[in-house]
């Protein structure tokens, strides 16, 4: 018997499926939507489009953690009804609802759920469509699981507290939908579902990523599609956010190899020049910028880019983030770099004459400073790069440095690997960074390397540190750092509990 599928707004992003666009969405059946391998491809494309959107992971979701923390400040105030970024900076969450970001997230989840349902229930098989052979089926299911996990991870970090703080409290997480929504005549399947706990959401994320690791191939023919290494890298990020350090190390080692100071895969990007006296400052800056300087799917990704979202001429994804950060003589960006960032980054290292090349990625105009990371008009946006994994492993080992000689040596090796490629003439000082100081140095390096990439708020909350300084200072577990679930969702979903003020 045919089951009627309620697609929410999924079909709005099916750019390649004209038949679906012309159909009455409330009466779609499995035969309408899931008739061939190409139908599954359309669903998958729609899911990727939703998470690569400039109002999700290619834009706003990278900006929110910076706006809510302490490394950017408002440079230009612009009245944008769909982007109340000034209200978000001021932590006026009731006025800073990003309804479309929420909607796009659940479109991606619905598409992923439909794909998983179709595969698990053999709605499409290789017998029905020879193009849907086993390895393709497994890879597509792996991609759907990956997208669902990644989307929930972003949602739970914005709408829920840091993992470990009241994580089992009712309604502490987000709406956890792991099955497609069927039969529009049963609205309770949509509007009756409340919020899961943070714990439940994280366990679903981990389960999906572990399954995706096994199903995805190590490499894809086309850039911008998930692989087993991407799933492992995001799982490392998830475990690190949870302060689950043993599992973080296991996942990091899967991706880049187990030996500190060396990389089996996704090596840090370098040019082909030889520098007998150490890299020049100009080349260090070029190398640091390179992962943010590519366009389209045709060129090879920088070696350190584990995954990035692809921007093309007919489908730019970086409009929002570029408007926030790009400075030119004709354009003033919404955001500038705060003095707190410069204090925290300390762009000189021991010995003092060695200057970090990443400082050259800052444009100075009068008393203002702007980042150059998003200076291309059409730019691929990295989701995760291997330096993050190195720094995660280095920080975990640095925590044990004063009592464990090998952990200290490993932390120093990983830290040195990150630093030496972007520092003019850098070489380890005759007296290396001490075991007492290495944790602070690794954490400082994280600030430099991942600046303005959407890491700041999440990292402060993970470390249980105060968010912001002066009048902007808030405890890491403040309710004022939680985004509000959009009013439209609250009004139509009878059991949804709003985040407290």
Work out the pLDDT band at 217, boundaries 50, 70, 90. very high
pLDDT over threshold 70, residue 206: yes
456 falls within a domain: no
Instruction: Compute the distance between CA of residue 1 and CA of residue 31 in angstroms, rounded to an integer.
Output: 11
Which residue shows structure tokens 């349902």? Answer: 117
What one-character-per-residue DSSP string does 12-28 give? Answer: GG-TT-HHHHTS-GGG-
347 falls within a domain: no
The pLDDT assigned to 30 comes to 54
Instruction: Compute the distance between CA of residue 481 and CA of residue 478 in angstroms, rounded to an integer.
Output: 6
The pLDDT assigned to 15 comes to 35
* Mean pLDDT value across residues 210-237: 96
Max avg pLDDT among 45-59, 290-304, 425-439, 480-494: 45-59
Instruction: Read off the pLDDT of residues 96-140 as tens digits, 9 standing for 90 and up.
Output: 999 999 999 999 999 999 999 999 998 888 888 888 888 889 999
The pLDDT assigned to 428 comes to 52
The pLDDT assigned to 28 comes to 43
279 falls within a domain: no
* Domain containing residue 205: 10-262+480-492
177 falls within a domain: yes
Instruction: Compute the distance between CA of residue 37 and CA of residue 43 in angstroms, rounded to an integer.
Output: 10
Instruction: Compute the distance between CA of residue 187 and CA of residue 181 in angstroms, rounded to an integer.
Output: 9
Cβ-based neighbours of 432, under 8 Å, separated by 6 or more? 412
63 falls within a domain: yes
407 falls within a domain: no
Question: What CATH number is given to the structural domain containing 43?
Answer: 1.25.40.390
180 falls within a domain: yes
The pLDDT assigned to 302 comes to 83
Q: How many Å separate Cα 371 from the centre of its chain?
A: 19
Q: Is the peptide bond before 423 cis (omega within 30 degrees of 0)?
A: no
Instruction: Compute the distance between CA of residue 332 and CA of residue 197 in angstroms, rounded to an integer.
Output: 41
* Mean pLDDT value across residues 211-215: 98
The pLDDT assigned to 190 comes to 62
Max avg pLDDT among 133-137, 158-162, 357-361, 492-496: 158-162
Number of domains in the chain: 1
What is the model's pTM? 0.92
Work out the pLDDT band at 188, boundaries 50, 70, 90. low
The pLDDT assigned to 268 comes to 93
Burial letters 301-311, b for 16+ CB under 10 A, else e: bbbbbbbbbbb
Instruction: Read off the pLDDT of residues 351-370 as tens digits, 9 standing for 90 and up.
Output: 555 678 899 899 999 999 99
* Residue percentage of the chain with pLDDT more than 90: 69
The pLDDT assigned to 202 comes to 99
Do residues 237 and 388 lie in contact, with contact meaning Cβ atoms separated by under 8 Å? yes
Work out the pLDDT band at 20, boundaries 50, 70, 90. very low
* Mean pLDDT value across residues 169-178: 96
Instruction: Read off the pLDDT of residues 255-274 as tens digits, 9 standing for 90 and up.
Output: 999 999 999 999 998 877 77
Do residues 204 and 119 lie in contact, with contact meaning Cβ atoms separated by under 8 Å? no
Do residues 482 and 160 lie in contact, with contact meaning Cβ atoms separated by under 8 Å? yes
500 falls within a domain: no
pLDDT over threshold 70, residue 196: yes
């Amino acid at each position: 018997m045919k089951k009627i599928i309620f697609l929410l707004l999924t079909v709005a992003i099916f750019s390649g499926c004209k038949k679906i666009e012309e159909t009455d969405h409330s009466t779609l059946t499995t035969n309408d939507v899931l008739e061939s391998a190409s139908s599954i491809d359309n669903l998958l494309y729609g899911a990727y489009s939703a998470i690569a959107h400039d109002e999700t992971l290619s834009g706003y979701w990278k900006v929110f953690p910076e706006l809510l923390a302490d490394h950017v400040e408002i440079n230009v105030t612009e009245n944008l009804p769909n982007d109340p970024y000034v209200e978000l900076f001021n932590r006026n969450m009731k006025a800073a609802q990003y309804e479309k970001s929420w909607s796009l997230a659940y479109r991606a989840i619905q598409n992923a759920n439909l794909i998983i349902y179709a595969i698990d229930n053999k709605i499409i098989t290789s017998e029905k469509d020879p193009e849907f052979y086993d390895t393709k089926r497994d890879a597509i299911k792996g991609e759907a699981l990956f997208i669902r996990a990644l989307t929930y991870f972003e949602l739970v970090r914005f709408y829920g507290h840091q993992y470990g703080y009241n994580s089992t409290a009712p309604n502490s997480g987000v709406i956890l939908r792991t099955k497609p929504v069927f039969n529009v005549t049963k609205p309770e399947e949509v509007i009756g579902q409340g919020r899961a706990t943070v714990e439940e959401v994280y366990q679903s994320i981990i389960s999906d990523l572990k399954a995706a690791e096994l199903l995805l191939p190590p490499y894809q023919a086309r850039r911008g599609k998930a692989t087993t290494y991407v799933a492992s890298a995001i799982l490392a990020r998830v475990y690190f956010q949870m302060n689950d350090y043993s599992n973080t190390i296991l996942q990091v080692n899967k991706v880049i190899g187990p030996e500190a100071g060396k990389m089996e895969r996704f090596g840090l990007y370098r040019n082909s020049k030889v520098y007998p006296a150490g890299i020049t400052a100009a080349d260090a800056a070029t190398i640091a910028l390179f992962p943010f300087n590519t366009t389209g799917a045709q060129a090879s990704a920088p070696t350190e880019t584990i995954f990035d979202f692809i921007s093309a001429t007919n489908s730019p994804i970086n409009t929002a983030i570029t408007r926030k950060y790009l400075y030119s003589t004709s354009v003033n960006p919404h955001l500038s770099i705060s003095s707190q960032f410069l204090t925290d980054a300390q762009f000189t290292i021991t010995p003092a004459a060695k200057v970090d090349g990443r400082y050259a990625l800052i444009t100075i105009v009068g008393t203002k400073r702007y980042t150059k990371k998003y200076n291309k008009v059409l730019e691929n946006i990295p989701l995760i790069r291997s330096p993050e994994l190195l720094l995660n492993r280095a920080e975990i080992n640095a925590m044990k440095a004063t009592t464990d000689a090998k952990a200290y040596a490993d932390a120093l090796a990983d830290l040195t690997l990150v630093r030496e490629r972007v520092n003019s003439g850098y070489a380890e000082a005759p007296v290396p960074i001490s075991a007492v100081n290495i944790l602070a140095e690794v954490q400082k390096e994280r600030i430099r390397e991942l600046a303005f990439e959407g890491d700041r708020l999440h990292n402060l909350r993970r470390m249980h540190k105060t968010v912001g300084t002066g009048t902007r200072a808030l405890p890491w577990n403040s309710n004022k750092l939680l985004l509000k679930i959009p009013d439209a969702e609250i009004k139509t979903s009878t059991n949804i509990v709003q985040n407290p003020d």
